Amino acid sequence: MQTSSWVPLFPEQASTFAWQVDALYAYLIVISIAFTIPIVAAIFFFAIKYREKEKFATPEEMHGSIVLETVWSIIPFVISMTIFLGGAIVYYNQFRVPDDSMDVYVVGKQWMWKLQHGTGQREINELHVPVGRNVKLTMTTEDTLHDFSIPAFRTKADVVPGRYTYIWFNATKPGKYHLFCAEYCGLNHSGMGGYVYVMEQRDFDNWLSGTESGQTPVEAGKDLFENKLGCASCHAGGADQRGAKLEGIFNKDVKLVGGQSVVADEAYIRNSILNPSSQVVEGFQPIMPTFKGQVTEEQLVSLVAYIKSLSGVTGTTTSSAATPAAANTSTHSNTAGNANTPASSNK
Amino acid sequence: MQNVDAIGSGISEQPKLNYLTNGFTLKSWLLTKDHKRIAIMYLITVSLFFMAGGIYASVIRLELLTPASDLVQTATYNKVFTQHGILMIFFFLIPSIPAVLGNFLLPIMIGAKDLALPRINLLSLYIYWIGGALTIYALMQGGVDTGWTFYTPYSTTFSNTYVMAVGLGIFINGFSSILTGLNFIVTVHTMRAPGMTWFRLPLFVWAQYATSLVMILGTPVIAITVLLLAIERTVKVGIFDPSIGGDPILFQHMFWFYSHPAVYIMVLPGMGVVSELISNFSRKKIFGYEFIAFSSIAIAVFGFLVWGHHMFVSGQSIYAGLVFSFLTMVVAVPSAIKMFNWAATLYKGSISFDTPMLYGLGFMGLFLIGGLTGLFLGAIGLTVHLTDTYFVVAHFHYVMVGGQVIAYLGGIHYWWPKMTGKMYSEFWGKISAMLVFVGFNLTFGPQFILGYLGMPRRYASYPEELQVLNIFSTAGASVLGVGMLMPVIYLLHSLVWGKPAGDNPWMLPGLEWRTSSPPPTENFEKMPVVTWEAYEFGEESGLDLEGARNRVRPSTVA
């Protein structure tokens, strides 16, 4: 929802750090003007005052000035350092994900965004979020690079095949905001986008309950873990299980064969499923087969969500409205209609 | 004045052979070792590439006149912006000032007969032609749609276009840059005339020297990168595509390790030209010569340390992002130093507003904006919002077009009388310089706002509320296009009907103005001995200023 002014100059501010980015922008504009006006004024003043009075004149020679050179080296340096610091602070706020975030998983593919909420609801090219809640997006792609960009929230991040990237935001204002793919991804790059709907908590709860949730990522992951992929045959069973223990490891240090250690984050879990022998936990043999090519990115996301849940990290919404209500013909039929489209049928 | 005899009737007593009249056969051009003829052949070729790139640019602007993708198909649009970038960057901007003006002037400015390695110089022209021909061939076969950045895995796995052929063209073309850079460095070290000490070198030469360093150190990296891309695309060895074990971010590191320094290949020479223009047309010794010279070297060195600022949101580590942001802020300082010194040079000068000076002043305005908006993009918290949007597009056009192209046009006008012996129409020159300045700002100014509003790059269609600003931009582009086309007409016109320029139309002290126009094949009739400092406009320079003043006095209405 852009403002209706004829030519908008700023996108809407709709996240908690949007004002910080805008403040930095304003600071830079002020600095730019403060540099431009004296320089341009000097150029015009000199150009008029010292314009050629006689052809091929020889003006009085002047030598450089160390004092001036020092002054106009140090001042820009000091100012540029303030800009650096301002940028670093805002960046820190943009990328330090708060702990109590609600999880949404994003998989990009040419040319659509497939999203799934921690409570199981799936969406295509749309994202519904409640106002005033920290939302963390864990993102990857099935094919080429993409970039998940929400200008009104002043954040974006590339979505990279083979790894997870993250953004988070806390939306402050209900409304409908553009979602763009900002990294060129081929033919229909400019069509790969949609909207982010920010809703009051009550409306969001209604939306959730009016949308088929299916399995949550944790449930789907559990199903894969215990039945479809058979992970449980090694990674569950108690003291004498063959595979490494997964309970309680999330975000903890894990000692690896060879003495290194690594933090067991999403990327590590994902890598251990796809390239098990690359980071083997101390005390175990590299006997696990690779699951590369056998699991889709969306299944991986579910497995990661399940393994996180073994450490008590649910990351799901605290809303109580996660009850499946497929038969419920909701008032939000337009959005629900879209969200009901099973992602898998679009592959 | 229209007969052939007029060529020699300027200052010289009897018609002598100059580099243009010394042989008229095609062979005498194609097998020449004369740096000036090679420069002219470069001039013609880069101009053709510039026009081709310009046609692509106009298709882009016309498509973006409306929010929907309607003028051309999206697939075509993707090829058009890719090919606009490839032609403009690799085949116009990078060779423009070094290969045309540098080739022509660097030996003359230091008082040498030719470059140190004339055959290598011819070879680099042929390599450029081969690379260019291959690229043009690939474009005519169907073109390429990866963006000029060739990001993986799209370029290696997903694109069905002529990535290999264009990549090969760029790969080959790179050797042309390397050889030209090598040649310049050797020439500056070994071929300076007696008395031409390092600190008497014109700043144009310093800038070329710094550029050459970047060319020989950076260009091999893009060659390696393109080669690895080719290996992955053909033999499916996993280098960049994660589905076969590669890392797409690695490609970005390697690509920008060259392509960021390449930005300085695309602006340092322009800074060199502008140093000449500002100093010579205010008849004032350049303010802070050493600071401008060393700031060129500083930019060349620091330019190698900031490639990561193209990758702030690519998934590189947060700490890497912070370090690259810091270094980016540092590299802004030498550019600021140049800007202050140029402005200070005008102080108490005797400023004339001939066409080249209008371009020089225009450069200062546009590069100021280009440089300051670079700070926006270096501030890491802000650039998360700005990167991959039209803000970036506007910024780099301000630097590369507002910088290099404006300086190149200024340089072409400035040295045109020397290169051709003819004077162009000053009236049309001024009109065109002003149209270019106004048209440029109207084209790219609105794009800063579009970028802050979030309009992503490389979009064939865009939300409707952004249309007004896009219309401004397209309107500006048409003014810019007219401004850019005019020089083609009046410069070509001057070749036949232009007034003889004389050897030194502006009574300037540089060595290039102390030989005939056009210069003889060996540049100087006898080896010059330099006894004056750079930018010495007084009687110490040995120029007959009083005589020149008397010559112009009767017809004072200049």
ipTM score: 0.89
CB atoms within 10 A of CB A172: 19
Closest CA to B442 of B409, B389, B402, B485: B402
- Is A59 in the B-facing interface, judged by CB distances under 8 Å? yes
CA-CA distances (angstroms) from residue B71 to B58, B63, B64, B161, B461? 12, 5, 9, 21, 11
The β-bridge partners of A180 are: A149
- Chain A residues close to B548, C-beta within 8 Å: 55-56
Strand locations in B293-365, DSSP E? none
DSSP per position, B44-61: HHHHHHHHHHHHHHHHHH
Torsion angle of alpha carbons A266, A271, A273, A278, nearest 10°?
-140
Task: Name residues whose C-beta falls within 8 Å of residue B438's C-beta, 6 or more positions apart in sequence.
Answer: B476, B479, B483
What is the topology classification, in CATH, of domain A217-309?
Answer: Cytochrome Bc1 Complex; Chain D, domain 2 (1.10.760)
- Is B160 in the A-facing interface, judged by CB distances under 8 Å? no
- Is A62 in the B-facing interface, judged by CB distances under 8 Å? yes
- Chain A residues close to B376, C-beta within 8 Å: 25, 28
Strand locations in chain A, DSSP E? 102-109, 112-117, 122-124, 126-130, 134-141, 146-150, 155-159, 165-170, 175-181, 194-199, 253-255, 261-263
Q: Which of A57, A161, A180 sits opposite B456 (nearest CB)?
A: A180
- Chain A residues close to B461, C-beta within 8 Å: 190-191
State which residues of chain A have pLDDT below 70. Answer: 1-6, 212-213, 314-347
Under 8 Å between Cβ of A64 and B309: no
Render the burial of A240-262: b for 16+ CB within 10 Å, e for the rest: eeebbebeebbeeebebeeeeee
- Contact check, Cβ <8 Å, A46/B346: yes
Determine the distance from the C-alpha atom of residue B348 to the mean position of all C-alpha atoms in its chain, rounded to a whole number.
30
* CATH number listed for the domain at residues A102-213+318-346: 2.60.40.420
Q: Which of residues 108-127 of A touch B (CB under 8 A)?
A: 110
Instruction: Identify the closest residue of chain B to A165 by CA–CA distance.
Output: B315
- Chain A residues close to B289, C-beta within 8 Å: 64
Give residue B327's identity as a one-letter amino acid code.
L
pLDDT score, position A343: 36
- Is B285 in the A-facing interface, judged by CB distances under 8 Å? yes
Torsion angle of alpha carbons A200, A202, A206, A207, nearest 10°?
20
Instruction: Identify the closest residue of chain B to A48 by CA–CA distance.
Output: B351
pLDDT score, position A213: 67
The distance of B277 to chain A (nearest Cα, Å) reads 14
Under 8 Å between Cβ of B75 and A188: no
**Is the four-CA dihedral B313, B315, B318, B320 of positive or negative sign?**
negative
- Contact check, Cβ <8 Å, B248/A161: yes
Calpha distance B518→B499 (Å, rounded):
13
Task: Name residues whose C-beta falls within 8 Å of residue A11's C-beta, 6 or more positions apart in sequence.
Answer: A2, A151, A152, A154, B452, B453, B454
Q: Which of B340, B372, B452 sits opposite A10 (nearest CB)?
A: B452
Q: Which of B283, B339, B384 sits opposite A57 (nearest CB)?
A: B283
Under 8 Å between Cβ of B282 and B365: no
Instruction: Identify the closest residue of chain B to A92 by CA–CA distance.
Output: B381
Q: Which of residues 303-332 of B touch A (CB under 8 A)?
A: 313-315, 318, 321-322, 325-326, 329-330, 332
Q: Which of A43, A51, A91 sits opposite B361 (nearest CB)?
A: A43
- Is B244 in the A-facing interface, judged by CB distances under 8 Å? no
DSSP label of B396? H
- Chain B residues close to A165, C-beta within 8 Å: 315
DSSP per position, B26-92: HHHHHT---HHHHHHHHHHHHHHHHHHHHHHHHHHHHHTTSSSS-SS-HHHHHHHHHHHHHIIIIII
- Chain A residues close to B380, C-beta within 8 Å: 84, 87-88, 90-91
Where are the domain boundaries for CATH 1.10.760.10 in chain A?
217-309
**Is the four-CA dihedral A233, A236, A241, A247 of positive or negative sign?**
positive
Q: Up-side HSE of residue B328: CA atoms within 13 Å toward CB?
A: 31
Q: Which of residues 178-217 of B touch A (CB under 8 A)?
A: none
pLDDT score, position B63: 96
- Chain B residues close to A106, C-beta within 8 Å: none
Calpha distance A216→A209 (Å, rounded):
14
- Contact check, Cβ <8 Å, A46/B351: yes
Calpha distance B63→B57 (Å, rounded):
10
The counts of H helices and E strands in chain B are 19, 2
DSSP label of B12? -
Which residue bears the tokens 């003359």? B108
- Is A294 in the B-facing interface, judged by CB distances under 8 Å? no
pLDDT score, position A249: 85
Q: What share of chain A is helix, strand, coil (3-state, %, to 5)?
A: 35, 20, 40
Phi, psi of B162, deg, nearest 5: -80, 60
Instruction: Identify the closest residue of chain B to A293 by CA–CA distance.
Output: B243
- Chain B residues close to A195, C-beta within 8 Å: none
- Contact check, Cβ <8 Å, B159/A9: no
DSSP label of B99? I
Do strands A134-141 and A102-109 pair parallel, antiparallel, or not at all (unpaired)? parallel
pLDDT score, position B553: 67
The distance of B231 to chain A (nearest Cα, Å) reads 18
- Is B126 in the A-facing interface, judged by CB distances under 8 Å? no
Determine the distance from the C-alpha atom of residue B12 to the mean position of all C-alpha atoms in its chain, rounded to a whole number.
33
pLDDT score, position A6: 63
- Chain B residues close to A52, C-beta within 8 Å: 350-353
Phi, psi of B409, deg, nearest 5: -60, -45
Where are the domain boundaries for CATH 2.60.40.420 in chain A?
102-213+318-346
Size of interface A-B (CB pairs under 8 A): 295
pLDDT along chain B (558 residues), means of 10: 40 69 91 95 96 96 94 94 96 95 96 95 97 95 92 89 92 95 97 94 95 93 91 90 88 92 91 95 91 89 91 87 93 92 92 95 95 94 94 96 95 96 95 96 96 95 93 96 95 94 91 93 91 86 82 58
Under 8 Å between Cβ of A302 and A220: yes
Strand locations in B340-496, DSSP E? 422-423
pLDDT score, position B15: 60
**Is the four-CA dihedral B439, B464, A136, A346 of positive or negative sign?**
negative
Q: Tell the burial category of B160 from Cβ atoms under 10 Å away from its Cβ (0-12, 13-18, 19+).
A: exposed
- Is A145 in the B-facing interface, judged by CB distances under 8 Å? yes
pLDDT score, position A299: 85
pLDDT score, position B10: 45
Q: Which of residues 37-76 of B touch A (CB under 8 A)?
A: 69, 74-75
Give residue B373's identity as a one-letter amino acid code.
T
pLDDT score, position A331: 36
Share of chain B above pLDDT 90, in %: 78
- Is A214 in the B-facing interface, judged by CB distances under 8 Å? no
- Contact check, Cβ <8 Å, B75/A187: yes
- Contact check, Cβ <8 Å, A11/B465: no
Supply A31's token pair: 């600095």
Determine the distance from the C-alpha atom of residue B167 to the mean position of all C-alpha atoms in its chain, rounded to a whole number.
22
**Hey, of B155, B199, B351, which one would you mutate to test binding to chain A, going by the most A CBs within 10 A of its CB?**
B351
To the nearest 10 degrees (0 to 180), the angle between helices B355-378 and B426-453 is 10
pLDDT score, position A326: 35
The distance of A192 to chain B (nearest Cα, Å) reads 10
All structural domains of chain B, each given as residue ranges with its CATH number in brackets, are 37-545 (1.20.210.10)
